[in-house]
Amino acid sequence: MSKKNLRKISADDKKKCLDILWTCAASLHTREEVKNFFKDLLTPSESIMLGRRLQIAKMLLEGKSYDFIGRVMGTGKSTIAGVHQWLSSGFGGYGKALQNFEVQLKKRFEKMECYHKETPMSFAWLKRKYPLHFLLFNLLNNK
């Protein structure tokens, strides 16, 4: 799609374009749906750049210095300052998204921790991995 000068787009057209974008994004329910939507919408480079901005925002919220973030991420201070500006005077989207990310990460970690609770090749692990092989044991244990 060719680039169009933003100044030449009417306010009404801008509003319509953004409305369809926000509504489509908000209508997605699962991580997989969102992932496929962004894969279709953005180029791989654009997706990675958005992800990097979120990583920078996360580090800023954790209190990391500009120098540290620049070294780790390989970005300039102007990029970090731009993200910092959006964090401090934006609409709260970065902060809310990163809060939700932390919650999702915690849930994912707890799920993995629960999954890896048993020692591999232990009796409990085998029972969970091959439930049909232990059908009689399971039936007797439930009574």
Q: CA nearest 52: which of 31, 88, 91, 82?
A: 82
Q: How many alpha carbons lie under 13 Å from residue 135 in its C-beta half-sphere?
A: 2
pLDDT digits (tens, 9 = 90+) for 82-114: 999 988 887 877 778 888 888 888 887 777 766
The tokens describing 75, both together, are 């970005």
Please report, rounded to a whole number, the percentage of residues in the chain having pLDDT higher than 70.
92
80: confidence class by pLDDT, cuts 50, 70, 90: very high
Contact present, 86 and 96 (Cβ < 8 Å): no
Give the pLDDT confidence score for residue 136 in this predicted structure. Answer: 77
Backbone angles phi, psi at 4, to 5 degrees: -120, 140
How high is the pLDDT of residue 118? Answer: 66
